[in-house]
Chain A
Amino acid sequence: MAKRERYQNRIELLQGTLDMLILRTLQWGPQHGHGIGAAISTSSADALQIDHGSLYPALHRLERQGWIDAEWKLSENKQRAKYYRLTSAGKKQLLVAESKWNRLIEAIARVMKPSRG
């Protein structure tokens, strides 16, 4: 049982990171899956290579959790595309995720500092 708990925490951490990046991207306004992927790559200066395939399970999960909404609209190229939009619950979730993330960064930084100096 203990083993399973530990394992689940790990999965959530990984998933949570991608979820946070998606929510963060949607803060700038509604966007379709491809746009989200492109935005993450661009804003991280291509440092984060997201497996595009893994975006969609995450998007559908976030949608089910009520953190994002979706509607079909025409894209810039006049094609039918599914646009995702941040909900108010999603906005709150993003704040929670961000603060968690910052605490994690600080903690890791504190651990890593001595080795640098």
Chain B
Amino acid sequence: MGSARDSDERDLKDEIAFHLAAETERRIAAGQSRDEARASAIRDFGNVPLVEDVTRNMWGWTMMRERLLHDVRFAIRLLVRDRSFTFVAVATLTLGIAATIAVYAVLKAVLLNPLPFPEPDRLVLVWERTPSGDDHNLANAYNVLRWQSKNQTFDAMGAVMPLPMNITGLGDAEQVDGLATVGAFFDTLGVRALLGRTTNATDPPSTVVLSYGFWQRRYGGARDVIGKMLMLQGSAREIVGVMPAGFSFTAARAAEVYTPLPVNPSAPPAGRNLIPVARMKRGVALETVRADMRRVVSQLIEEGTPRLSGWSASVFPLLDETVNSVRRILWVIFGAVACLLLLACANVANLLLIRASKRGPEMALRLALGAGRWRLVHQLAAESLLLTFIASAIGLTLTYILVPAIPSLFPTTFPLPRSSEIAVDGSIVVFTLVLCGGTALALSLLPIVRIGRDQIGQSLHAGSRSAVAAHSRLRRAMVVTEAAIALVLVFAAALMGRSLATLTNVDPGFKADHVLTLRMLMIPSKYRGPASIPFLRSVLEEVRATPGTVDASSVHFLPLSGAGSTAGVYRLDRPAPPREQIRGFPVSLITDRYFTTMGIPLVGRDFVHGDTVGGPGVAIVNQSLAKQLFPNEDAIGKRIYVGYSPATASMEIVGIAGDVRTHTLDREPGPAVYIPHNREPSLSASLVVRTQGTPASAVAAVRAAIARVDPEQGVAQVQSMETLITNASARPRVQAGVFGMFGILALIIAAVGLYGVMAYGVEQRRRELGLRLALGAPPAALLRTVVREGLGLAIAGAIVGAGLAWASSGPLEALLYETRVTDPRMYIAAAATLVAVAFIATLGPALRATRVDPLVVLREE
């Protein structure tokens, strides 16, 4: 093939050389000088390379491969020649393509790939379902054991309880995230240890399995760690295994140590605190499993299991449970990058069109020489493909470099699940290739339509009115499309920003400034039960006496921390409502001076140290609860039932506190109850410390105060209350950040598009503009003409875009806080931004229009 082509190629050159030689001779014979004859022969022949190229095209389909190479070479020459065009086009496409690949890589790893366990489709989480319908309630250990023995649809079942764990004996006391495991947790997942072994149902609590990260951090990855002892929760545990690097379980992704939790089947623990995970039998459908679990629970209720009437169990696939928090936002982001890519395509297609118009004379010549139209289409397609290919290659490289940074966009309080699984692998490369092909196709489609419509006569006269008009109509349509897409993205960004601003201005119900928080799990072996009361009191007294602190108190779970307890509440001076009607309200276990430390208004009296086990039961309720249970009555002095524990069955209300947002910032506060820690001692106690200076400045002193009481007691999550609130709005922040970025990129791309079209339009109309100037039109009038035209395009785009936004913004609403997708102010804000940017983009070409020199222009043609 190659040699045949080479000889054809030589023949063609020889043939033309002979023609030129013969023509030169003829002209010499006619009396011209040799040089003159040679020059005029070449001139009359026309553009030699162009003739060669068109002739080559006549050789038929056998030469397709060579032709493709030729097209690509030609495209490269063009791209090198027109560097600024190439730069803008490649940069725009790279942006769109890189963003799309990166988001796809995340989407695929997080939502689409199976979980990294054997046969992951069979893994489910099992929850208890409350009488009021919450189907994600933690499970009671006793119930889990019964489920395990009575179910007929699971192969294996285990459970976990996320727990902070105190580590001592390895330098400073430290509290890390841990996972207490019940039963065959590891075997249910089907995971093996990297070193040593995993624990199972028969292992005693004196064993511990380390995470890869903890092993690396605290033991430097030493392989002889197996068999060593680790001081955990104040007692020595034998290290039996180390988990592989990628292992994490959805309920506690950051867990660093795994230790068996003993459950005594004969003395069932009261609380609900476990997350059960189970492996379904092979071939059993989820619905069958759900029915089986309903059967098991009703059987347990019939057997008289305590605190189970009205409850049920719910079963969900582990994958869904792992990624549900980010499913919607990831799809919405994917939609947004698709818009961005579309915008980039429209922009580059427009630039290509402008260039095609500038190359009109060349195209016309090719057509006149007999080049087929498809040949020109090939040429343009080769150019698009080349541009897209370069952009895709850069995009893929960028993604490869940047993907590891993506999880860090998500703060720890709104973590991206499965982030360790995100990788740029073969499937991403395939996706990139498909994307590249699709983009190139989209880019070449326009020129194809364009050339298909061109009439040869019009193309021969590149300046022909109708051809120019048709071209510019298409270009304008593209700019309007760009503006429309940009408006959709700016609108989304406006919604997210507005939502975040609204959320940031929400009053949480307490004064968050100058408050330091520390999470503490008191060492169970020392402080279980009433033993925690004197310890916690000593800690608080020590902290309050520390210079730089104003006040200190404790609560078992901080508001907005994502953790909390609930219990059914009803008034005791009326008949107890039926079980199904009892609603669960948040219950907080606090020590004295919690309300003053947090700056929460309180009517009535605060708890005192003497409100303790054995004393009269007292409770403080919030205004919502007082209003709901005691409308038009004074709640203080009334008695209520709090279903937290037998010790809280009858509590007298001694105070009414202001409402506080406990669950999330975006949820209106509902009824809530406070119980004295001393009445219902808990191992979990977060300290809240009001400080004189910044919370950060008091950290060392507060830590030292705790260490003075017990040097083995670790603390975790030391942060200011303001940080905690910021973290509580992590998802809206991520959303606003991502969409803000998309909105800005979209505006830039659309502005480049508008600028390009307006600048080209001004260049095309220089004669008209020059003429108008010469006839006495004031420059300001020309300026107005151009600006009005540009703004007209932008406004048309804004209107189309508003329609698109109206039709497509539905899925956004669930991501927003007190912001409606139908809010007209958001549309106006987005449109105003777009038009303002369009104005700036149009100003340059408009000013150029006023600087056209009539004399130069009129002499030009």
A-side residues, CB < 8 A to B, are 3-4, 7, 10-11, 15, 32-35, 37-38, 51-54, 56-58, 60-61, 63-64, 72, 75, 77, 79-82
Contact = CB atoms under 8 A, between A and B. Distances in A.
B456 A56 contact: no
Contact of B370 (A7, A61, A81): A61
A64 B370 contact: no
Going nearest first, the 5 A-B pairs with the smallest beta carbon separation are A53-B46, A60-B58, A34-B22, A53-B51, A61-B58
B18 A75 contact: yes
B59 A60 contact: yes
Contacts of B369: 53-54, 57
B51 A34 contact: no
A54 B48 CA distance: 10
B370 A57 contact: yes
B753 to A, nearest CB: 28
Interface in B43-61: 44-48, 50-51, 54-55, 57-60
B19 interface: yes
Contacts of B421: none
28 contacts: A3-B452, A32-B18, A34-B23, A51-B368, A52-B19, A52-B23, A52-B44, A52-B45, A53-B46, A53-B51, A53-B369, A54-B370, A56-B12, A56-B16, A56-B19, A57-B51, A57-B54, A57-B58, A60-B55, A61-B58, A64-B60, A72-B11, A77-B25, A79-B21, A79-B22, A80-B18, A81-B22, A82-B15
B368 A54 contact: yes
- Size category of the B interface is 20 to 34
B474 to A, nearest CB: 15
Interface string B1-20: 00000000001101110110
A57 to B, nearest CB: 4
A113 to B, nearest CB: 26
A11 B50 CA distance: 19
Nearest to A77: B25
A71 to B, nearest CB: 11
B26 interface: yes
Given A53-B50, A57-B55, A58-B370, 7 more contacts: A51-B368, A53-B45, A56-B16, A57-B51, A57-B54, A64-B60, A77-B22
Interface of B: 11-12, 14-16, 18-19, 21-23, 25-26, 44-48, 50-51, 54-55, 57-60, 368-371, 452-453, 455-456
Nearest to B23: A34
Contact of A33 (B19, B50, B58, B453): B19
A56 B55 contact: yes
Contacts of A79: 18, 21-22
Nearest to A32: B18
Nearest to B457: A10
A35 B50 CA distance: 21
A82 B26 contact: no
A1 to B, nearest CB: 10
A51 B370 contact: no
B392 to A, nearest CB: 32
Contacts of B26: 38
A72 B15 CA distance: 9
B58 A51 contact: no
Contacts of A57: 51, 54-55, 57-58, 369-371
A7 B456 contact: yes
A32 B21 CA distance: 13
A52 B15 CA distance: 12
Nearest to B51: A53
Contacts of B14: 80, 82
Given A61-B58, A64-B60, A77-B25, A33 B15 contact: yes
Interface centre among B14, B47, B50, B370 (most CB of A within 10 A): B370
A15 B11 CA distance: 24
Interface centre among B19, B47, B59, B371 (most CB of A within 10 A): B19
Interface centre among A7, A32, A38, A63 (most CB of B within 10 A): A7
B456 A11 contact: yes
A3 B456 CA distance: 12
B368 A10 contact: no
Interface centre among B11, B18, B26, B47 (most CB of A within 10 A): B18
A93 to B, nearest CB: 16
A72 to B, nearest CB: 8
Contact of B46 (A11, A32, A51): A51
Contact of A56 (B15, B23, B47, B452): B15
A75 B18 CA distance: 10
Contacts of B11: 72, 82
B54 to A, nearest CB: 5
Contacts of B16: 56
Contacts of A63: 58
Interface centre among A4, A11, A57 (most CB of B within 10 A): A57
Given A7-B455, A53-B47, A53-B51, A15 B15 contact: no
A54 to B, nearest CB: 5
B371 to A, nearest CB: 8
A6 to B, nearest CB: 9
Contacts of B453: 3
A14 B810 CA distance: 57
Nearest to B50: A53
Nearest to A8: B373
Contacts of A4: 452
Contacts of A82: 11, 14-15, 18
A61 to B, nearest CB: 4
Nearest to A55: B19
A51 B456 CA distance: 17
Nearest to A3: B453
A11 to B, nearest CB: 7
Interface centre among A3, A15, A54, A58 (most CB of B within 10 A): A54
A60 B52 CA distance: 11
B51 A56 contact: yes
A79 B23 CA distance: 13
B141 to A, nearest CB: 74
B54 A34 contact: no
A101 B456 CA distance: 22
A10 B456 contact: yes
A72 B8 CA distance: 12
Contacts of B54: 57
A64 B19 CA distance: 20
Contacts of A52: 19, 23, 44-46
A56 B371 CA distance: 12
Nearest to B54: A57
Contacts of B15: 32-33, 56, 81-82
A91 to B, nearest CB: 21
A22 to B, nearest CB: 12
Contacts of B57: 57
Contacts of A81: 15, 18, 22
B370 to A, nearest CB: 4
A57 B370 CA distance: 7
Nearest to B21: A79
Contacts of B44: 51-52
Contacts of B370: 15, 54, 57-58, 61
A32 B23 CA distance: 12
A34 B59 contact: no
Nearest to B372: A11
Nearest to B48: A53
Contacts of A60: 55, 58-59
A9 to B, nearest CB: 11
Contacts of A32: 15, 18-19, 22
A61 B56 CA distance: 9
Contacts of B47: 53
Nearest to B15: A82
Interface centre among B16, B58, B452 (most CB of A within 10 A): B58
A82 B15 CA distance: 6
A52 B452 CA distance: 28
A15 B51 CA distance: 15
Contacts of A7: 455-456
